Amino acid sequence: MTYTPCQGPLENATQKRVLVINDLSCFGKCSLIVSLPVLAACGVEAVPLPTAILSTHTGGFPSPYISSMTAAMQGIFAHWRAIGLRFDAIYSGYLCGEEQIALVEHIFDEFSDEHTLLVVDPVMGDGGKLYSGFDAAYAARMRHLCARAHIITPNLTEAALLTGHDAHAVIDAPAQYALLHDLLALGAPAVILTGATRPDGTVGYLYTDRDRTEPLEIRHDYIDKMLHGCGDAFASALCGALMQGRATEDAVRLASDYTLACIRATLADAPAHWYGLKFEAGMSLLVPEQR
Ligand code: PXL
């Protein structure tokens, strides 16, 4: 049998295809390790573009091994361009430096048209602090990428870094609504703020877009524990739910239900499972109904 490269068109007639630009933290339950199975559970074809390979995520383990994949990303991008690959959505998460932000912008230019959903999770910090390896210049550059997206999903810390708010001062509803307003002003037409804690002991998701008069709020009891992977689980489920054809509000509800189910399962296994989210636990919620 002779091998024929690229034997036919690259469309997938029965599934949506999502490009996930994120790191591969081999141990620690975050980023691509979460996104790929979550999107598969949603019935979506997920195509990874690894931004870095790490032994673990950077939150909680001493001196993780990290290898940036910028050169590999450029080579993969060039090959995909040559074979004419197309995506229904592009979702970006943890990037390694400003050069990679520029590369993601090129990828948006090359692989998207008016039908392609662009989701940017501006991963760079939590708990009021930048993750190691990120700085204020990166945060400033990330604003430009956010302006290109249709939906952005920052947590409170990232939202504050993007807008110049003080993360420790955005504690009540008026301050968080003002933050949402400033996030929308960055340019993406829809914004989902995650990890919005309140003095009443709750934490929530706040979703707004240019057409809403009031944000959608989904709140639950605050969990006093840093769980890595929650943002990745939420953003991945959101992309999957949108690719299932759900309206954004419905997708936000499903993604938050899913993430919360995983958080509860993780806490049920505390303190043993401290290093990341049990993202497998809520997955049945995402699977389209079987006929
Ligand atoms: O889940 C966010 C995240 C993603 N990727 C890496 C991280 C973190 C959070 O610490 O370190 C490598």
**What distance in angstroms lies between residue 17's CA and the mean position of ligand 1's atoms?**
24
**Superfamily classification of domain 17-275:** Ribokinase (3.40.1190.20)
CA distance 65 to 72: 17
The segments of the chain whose pLDDT lies below 70 read 1-7, 290-291
The closest alpha carbon to 23, from 97, 80, 86, belongs to: 97
Residue with tokens 């996930």: 20
CB contact set of 260 (below 8 Å; sequence gap of 6+): 220, 282
**How far is ligand 1, taken at its centre, from the CA of residue 23, in Å?**
8
CA of 132 to the centre of ligand 1 (A): 10
Is 236 touching ligand 1 by the criterion CB < 6 Å? Answer: no
Q: Separation of 150 CA from ligand 1 center, angstroms? A: 23
Ligand 1: distance of its center to the CA of 95 in Å? 10
Question: What is the predicted pLDDT for the residue at 141?
Answer: 98
For the CA of 232, the nearest atom of ligand 1: 1
pLDDT, position 289 = 84
The 10 Å CB-count burial string (b at 16+, else e) for 33-44 is: bbbbbbbbbbeb
Q: What is the pLDDT of residue 257?
A: 97
> Which residue in 134, 116, 114, 115 sits closest to 124, CA to CA?
134
pTM exceeds 0.75: yes
CB 129 within 8 A of CB 101: no
- Report pLDDT for 87: 97
Both tokens assigned to 151: 């939906």
pLDDT at residue 291 in the model:
60
Query: Which ligand 1 atom sits closest to the C-alpha of 66?
Result: 12
124 lines ligand 1 (CB under 6 A): no
